[in-house]
Structure 1
Amino acid sequence: MTAKNAREGIEREIDTRTRPRYRVSAIVSTYASAAYLRGCIDDLVTQTLYGRGELEIIVIDSASPENEWSILSELARRLPNLRAVRTRERESLYASWNRAILEARGEFLTNANADDRHRPDAFKLMVAALDAHPDVSLVYGNSYYSITPNETWANNPRDRRFLTQRYFAPSLLLYFFFGPQPMWRREIHDRVGLFNPDYRAAGDWEFALRFARRERALHIEDELGLYLVHEGAISHRDGTMARENRRILETFHTPEMVESLYAGEGVSPDS
């Protein structure tokens, strides 16, 4: 997808942005998730950076059969720094993310899943980490599990932690560990490319492996958000995740990839 052909797929659009540049662009993709969308936007509006005018919210309504567009139209009447696009046809999650990336004006990007929620200063902490480590292209942290739809950070008991590991690139050959709410520099897409739109569930893992060939990440040892566990999540639907995971393993589990990732960590793969 390019900026030019992305325009061809738009059915409707909203733009209440007030600035040419932002520190952060929060990317939201919605399809049949109207029950979560208002809570998702409310969650983003409570971010410290939004209050400072440093956060834009980009929502891609992927031809949803539900009333997301009505919700967005209502919110746009009172919220600045909102960009919303409805596509003519349904797209994969990662095609929607790519569309949002091309729309983004932020220095940093983060995916804001419609059913997950954030600590109010999460984006502020991630931006601070990226500013403090110019050699790092992506940061990620821990989360708490939630089993209650639209539960806020304030209402979560915060007694079940979703822990992620410190960054060690070769571990990405085994599993994806950036968690549900990473933040990365927009410029890396010039080097790594966009997400693969052919994936439906595991495209973030495939992207992470391409990322690891040339970029560095940093683990923030703190809880930054809530991850909702429910059967409707893409990761729980049919056998798509398992099939795509096998495809990734077949593509990236090569001697050359193993050697490259270990070398990037200063470790001989033979040691």
Structure 2
Amino acid sequence: MIKISVITSVYKGIEYIESFFCNFLQIDNISEVELVMVLNEPTRDEIDIVTEYKKRIPYIIVIEVNRESLYASWNRAIKLSHGKYLATWSIDDCRTSESLSVQSNTLDKNPTCMIATGNYYKIFKYGDITGFLKKDSALKKDVNGYTQFRNGCFLMWRKELHDYIGYFDEQFNIGGDAEFYMRAMYNGHKIISTNSLLGYFLRESNKGLSKQKSKERGWESQIIGMRYKKIFVCNIYNYYRTNKIKKTLILNFGIYHNIKVRKNNLLSLLLSAILFWLPDLKRKSVEILFCYRKYQHSVKQ
């Protein structure tokens, strides 16, 4: 009987995919785990490896798609899954053999909790078992009393959570998982820590979507902050000055979900709207006026 569905997305993953399957086959409760894998524009070699390992995994769903965003693939996998619990697992990360059973047992014993977290090592070379130990920090609060979410690795949650808060916001390229879990906490859903070592998170600066050093991580973090935390005028102005390209995400609280906003964020959101759209409105007004006058001039001639 399927209890847990592991969702993963693969894109140009030939370097890790076989090791991922070997790691997956070592989990101690594989008889109750389903793997839902979304292959983005897979190569022939990737398909051959997947085909070979499909024979050894009790429950597996594999679909091939054209290139899409990570969170679009996750949402696709979630809708195809059959488990009571869902867990993400990137193919370049390694889980401990007992991680899935520990998390699911923790959720079994705590029916009011929706998400189970834990500790992990941040490593810098695939296959290492030592590195920086990252203790679970998902439950800590900031100076303003708001719950922080810093642990995006090796999480497990109840599938029914999507009935309450929707799916991953596909507008994001990097921060969609953090936004989803922050949304869960904001809407009052409890998170529990297993206090167990769940796995090894590969942190190579030049590989992996979430590992890339880019401006996207900055503005997506700012957007999440504006949705769920206190934001001051200086923060909004700095965001406006450096990240104007993605301004629409500030007030668009998810094209796929109804996302509630903290009341004490409304002033910040109003100010951000003024900062973002007033200059655009002014420029558009000038352009329209110029076109109108040009039209009048042509008519007179």
Partner deviation per Cα, 1:167-211 (whole Å, 9 max, x = no partner): 246689685323310100011101110001111100011111211
Aligned mates of 1:58, 1:81 — CA distance in 2: 9
Cα deviation for residue 159 of structure 1 reads 5.2
CA distance in 2, matches of 1:77, 1:66: 18
Q: Give the aligned residue type for 1:233.
A: G
* Structure with the larger helix share: 2
Q: Which of 78, 83, 89 is residue 101 of structure 1 equivalent to?
A: 78
Call closer, same or farther: CA 1:175–1:215 in 2, change over 3 Å: closer
Q: Which has the higher contact order (CA 8 A, sep 6+)?
A: 1
- Partners of 1:141 and 1:159 lie apart in 2 by 16
Within a 5 Å distance, the mapping from 1:197-208 to structure 2 comes to 197-208=170-181
Aligned AA for 1:242?
G
User: Which of 62, 65, 73 matches 1:84?
Assistant: 62
Aligned residue in 2 for 1:241: 217
Query: What are the within-5 Å matches in structure 2 for residues 157-168 of structure 1?
Result: 158=130, 160-165=132-137, 167-168=139-140
**Kept in 2: contact 1:109–1:183 (CA 8 A):** yes
TM-score, reference length from structure 2: 0.71
Matches within 5 A, 1:184-263: 184-212=157-185, 213-231=187-205, 232-237=207-212, 238-253=214-229, 257=262
Q: Report 1:111-122 matches (<5 A).
A: 111-122=88-99
Alignment of 1:103-182 (within 5 A): 103-149=80-126, 151=127, 156=129, 158=130, 160-165=132-137, 167-168=139-140, 176-182=149-155
Q: Any gaps of 5 or more consecutive residues in structure 2?
A: 232-260, 266-301
Q: Distance in 1 between matches of 2:263 and 2:12?
A: 39
- Whole-Å Cα distance in 2 between the matches of residues 108 and 220 of structure 1? 15
- Going from structure 1 to structure 2, the CA distance change for 1:163 and 1:147 (only over 3 Å counts) comes to same
- Contact kept in structure 1, 2:71 and 2:169, CA below 8 Å: yes
Query: Match of 1:71?
Result: 49
- Letter in structure 2 aligned against 1:236: K
Of 13, 35, 41, the match for 1:33: 13
Aligned in 2, Cα 1:162/1:39: closer, same or farther, shift over 3 Å? same
Gaps of 5+ in 1: 1-20, 261-271
Whether the aligned pair in 2 keeps the contact of 1:164 and 1:179 (CA below 8 Å) is: no
The 1:36–1:228 alpha-carbon spacing in structure 2 relative to 1, beyond 3 Å, is: same
- Please identify the structure whose Cα radius of gyration is greater: 2
Aligned-pair CA distance for 1:254: 5.2
Contact 1:64 1:90 in 2 (8 A): no
Q: What is the percentage of aligned positions where both structures have the same residue? A: 24
- CA 85–103 in structure 1, closer or farther in 2 if over 3 Å, else same: same
- Aligned residue number for residue 266 of structure 1: none
Q: What SS does the aligned partner of 1:250 have? A: helix
Matches within 5 A, 1:4-19: none
Question: Which letter does structure 1 place at the counterpart of 2:262?
Answer: M
Alignment deviations for residues 77-128 of structure 1 (CA, whole Å, 9 cap, x no partner): 33321111111x2111111100110011101000011111111111111111
The DSSP-based 3-state class of the residue aligned with 2:3 is strand
Cα deviation 1:47-94 (Å, max 9, x = unaligned): 1110xx10011110022457322211121233321111111x211111
Q: CA 1:174–1:134 in structure 2 vs 1: closer, same or farther (change >3 Å)?
A: closer
- Give the paired residue count: 232
What secondary structure, in the 3-state scheme, does the structure 2 residue paired with 1:137 have? Answer: strand
Match of 2:4 in 1: 24
